[in-house]
Structure 1
Amino acid sequence: MSLMERMRPRPGLRVLVTAGAGGIGSAIARGFLEAGAKVLVCDVDEAALDAFASAYPDASTVRADVSLDADVASLVDAATERLGGLDVLVNNAGIAGPTGAIDEISVEDIRRTLDVDLFGQFLVLRRAAPLLRASPAGAVINISSVAGRLGYALRTPYAASKWGIVGLTESLAKEMGPDGVRVNAILPGIVRGARIEGVIRERAEAAGVSYEEMEARYLANTSLRRMVEPEDVASMALFLCSPAGANVSGQAISVCGNVETI
């Protein structure tokens, strides 16, 4: 196998991508489809799922809320039935959560953020673990954030969940490594798309400045002074599931243009 061939995932991988109908998840799902994988995508947004299914008829889709164990059980059953097992789990589902001081945000918003962003990953992992152990090439990619390595004022529920994902990743890499399952986290930075636009808008309102000023502040804190594209994150996911990434596990890898502070 040539070095270039080692950089590509082997065709036929069975891949589950949570929240895969839009944004980063969609880019990752598309990348695996292009690599010849069998892909199952879940999402809570039925319209987005329908649009993804129309655009990529080779993919399987199912509606699921990863914060609900019953939904997750049905999702993993679908992976068994439609894919015949599971080689790769991309734990991508997450929400932005509230923006505000710790004593101003609601308990409901805190719980919802942690339920989706962190607890949801636990629920999917505990159901998918037996399938991944049975795979000859089991791999997990947990999507964290640059907020999982830096403090993030006014965004504490989100940051706490993303730091938790890094701890989950490093711990699970040790737990499942003897079974041949690799576990890594990707920490995206300021990824172009609707989610970061909403975050910047809320942060601008909280600071009493314009959207343009807040966006400029975000980019000024990034060494490369530019946003990350969803495809940049997808490329890292594909690498981690290729033969070239066979000995990469337990790592929290930033794809962020070197965000210095947030």
Structure 2
Amino acid sequence: MRRVLITAGARGIGRAMADAFDAAGYDVWVTDLDSSALSDLPEDWTGIGANVADEGHMREVFDRIKTVDVVCANAGIAGPTAAVEDVSLDDWRTCMSVNLEGAFLAAKYAAPLMKKAGGGAMILTSSTAGQFGYPYRSPYAAAKWGVIGLMKTLAMELGPFGIRCNAICPGSVEGPRMEGVLEREAEAKGMTRDEVYEGYASGTSMRSFVEAQDIANMAVFLGSSAARMVSGQVIAVDGHTENPNPKL
């Protein structure tokens, strides 16, 4: 049975990924900081409490898993929503640590296992914020651009070992996390939550937010043999974002 590890896999997009890989017949392992969400996982999954930005935690996770076919470096935080002059260095560093360093540590410890096995797939969760500038979201956008640069480098470095690396760029995903973003952005811009929501939705050709399941479906494809020659790619699942936030 093929094995997948999903960081931040006990809720949100990560949980949708875990459910989708489970349905595809994988042995599912997830990490998360939410102990209550971990306690609610199916009995045949392996859940581990871990901070992806803590190298000791990540080393222990991979020491425990021993073999892995697919790694989804999915953990991330929204970071502050504020004008650049109002962003504290601590908030900047925290956002970078979770979003970018967390992906780096997952790759760092997955690579030796995949090399030993003769191949594997790494799927990094970036964002449409990794493709466009996002006003009032400078730490998050910078981190997600960094994830794409990391993925491109990993694809080149690890390809000779049969390891594929790709990045998924979700657009605006329905759910509690995006609701928090909408509320904070509305406050920062002096707009209503609904005005900000409409700004995001109208910036896509599909005129809609996406669902976590849409992201999960892409992850399962990228981890499968059907994507055996897909590597180094930035794949947006966003309803085609033309302008990430036209209403400033």
TM-score range (shorter-chain normalised) is: over 0.9
1:79 aligns to 2:65 (yes or no): yes
Q: Which residue of 1 aligns with 2:236?
A: 254
Q: How many residues align?
A: 244
RMSD of aligned Cα (Å):
0.9
Letter in 2 for 1:242: S
Instruction: Measure how far apart 1:69 and its partner are.
Output: 0.6
Match of 1:187 in 2: 169
1:78-157 to 2 correspondences below 5 Å: 78-80=64-66, 85-157=67-139
2:33 aligned with 1:44: yes
Contact 1:87 1:136 survives alignment (8 Å): no
- CA deviation vs aligned residue, 1:165-215 (integer Å, no higher than 9, x gap): 111111110000000000000000011111111001101011111111111
Distance 1:39 1:136 in 2: 20
d(CA) in 1 for partners of 2:151 and 2:198? 32
Structure 2: which amino acid aligns with 1:178? P
Asked if 1:175 is matched to 2:162, the reply is: no
Q: CA contact under 8 A between 1:219 and 1:227: conserved in structure 2?
A: yes
Distance (whole Å) between structure 2 residues aligned to residue 147 and residue 217 of structure 1: 15
Partner in structure 1 of residue 218 of structure 2: 236
Contact 1:192 1:227 in 2 (8 A): yes
Q: 2:51 aligns with which of 55, 65, 73?
A: 65
Indicate the residue corresponding to 2:204 in structure 1: 222
Match in the other structure for 1:8: none
The answer for the alignment partner of 1:14 in structure 2 is 3
Structure 1's unaligned 5+ residue stretches are 1-11
Q: Is the 8 A contact 2:222 2:230 kept in 1?
A: yes
Aligned letter for 2:6?
V
* Matches of 1:23 and 1:243, distance apart in 2: 26
Per-residue Cα deviation, 1:50-77 (whole angstroms, up to 9, x for no partner)? 12x2xx2111000000111111111111
1:23 to 5, 8, 12: 12
TM-score, normalising length from structure 1?
Answer: 0.91
Note the C-alpha offset of 1:136.
4.0
Q: Secondary structure at the match of 1:116?
A: helix
Gaps of 5+ in 2: none
Segments ≥4 residues shifted beyond 6 Å: none
Question: For residues 102-150 of structure 1, what are the alpha-carbon distances to aligned partners after superposition, in whole Å with 9 as ceiling and x for unaligned?
Answer: 1101111100000000011111211111111122440000000000100
| Secondary structure class of the residue paired with 1:103 | helix
CA–CA distance in structure 2, aligned partners of residues 113 and 19 of structure 1: 15
Distance in 2, matches of 1:202 and 1:25, equals 23
Q: How does 1:160-171 map to 2 (within 5 A)?
A: 160-171=142-153
